[in-house]
A and B are shown apart, each in its own frame.
Chain A
């Protein structure tokens, strides 16, 4: 059974510092990995999708890497801003999973202090 873990559960940094968020998964047989952002009381916003054949994806200040063999992904957010404060979730689509089921990590709650 696929398990996804995000450590730490919470993170506080001063504005301007780079953010590094970690995600690990137990079964490397995945189609892709997705990073999401969730603001309090809101739905999930997709940030980046990395296919299993890719090593990284970039969008603006965001960069996500994927090391499928070791079951790890890292989301980097450069020059953090208070508006980056949110919960960040990673999720994988497993090859063995029924449908295109996403298996989520527990999330990392980020606070960027001005």
Chain B
């Protein structure tokens, strides 16, 4: 069976500090990978998606970047965090076809102070 991991589970960082959130998927190969952010009162927003190693598409301009160094690893980064980067970050995967179900990880709660 497939599982998706995210870490850390929670993170408190000062403004201006760097960020690295990691997501890994087990039990599948060549998945599509996604980063979503859920901010208070704003719903779930897609930030990045990747259809393969090194292939990253950004949905919204922002202070964040994503990378996919391995087939089942997806990393969300920032060089300098802003207060507005606070939120609940969710990683998701699917099998690549448009009709496939998406599965979500447990999330990372980021608080920028």
Contacts and interface: CB of A to CB of B under 8 A. Distances in A.
A43 B98 contact: no
- Is the contact region of chain A dominated by helix, strand, or loop, or is it mixed? strand
Contacts, number: 65
Q: By CB atoms of chain A within 10 A, which of B46, B99, B102, B107 has the most? A: B102
Interface in B62-113: 88, 90, 92, 94, 96-107, 109
Contacts of A49: 101
- Is the contact region of chain B dominated by helix, strand, or loop, or is it mixed? strand
Contacts of A46: 101-104
Interface string A50-83: 0100000000000000000000000000000000
Interface residues of A, number: 25
A93 B96 CA distance: 12
Q: By CB atoms of chain A within 10 A, which of B34, B51, B104 has the most? A: B104
27 contacts: A31-B98, A32-B98, A32-B99, A32-B101, A36-B104, A41-B88, A42-B107, A43-B6, A43-B104, A44-B92, A46-B102, A46-B103, A91-B44, A93-B99, A95-B98, A99-B51, A99-B57, A100-B96, A100-B102, A101-B34, A101-B49, A101-B59, A102-B44, A102-B46, A102-B92, A102-B102, A107-B43
Interface of A: 31-32, 34, 36, 41-46, 49, 51, 89, 91, 93, 95, 98-102, 104-107
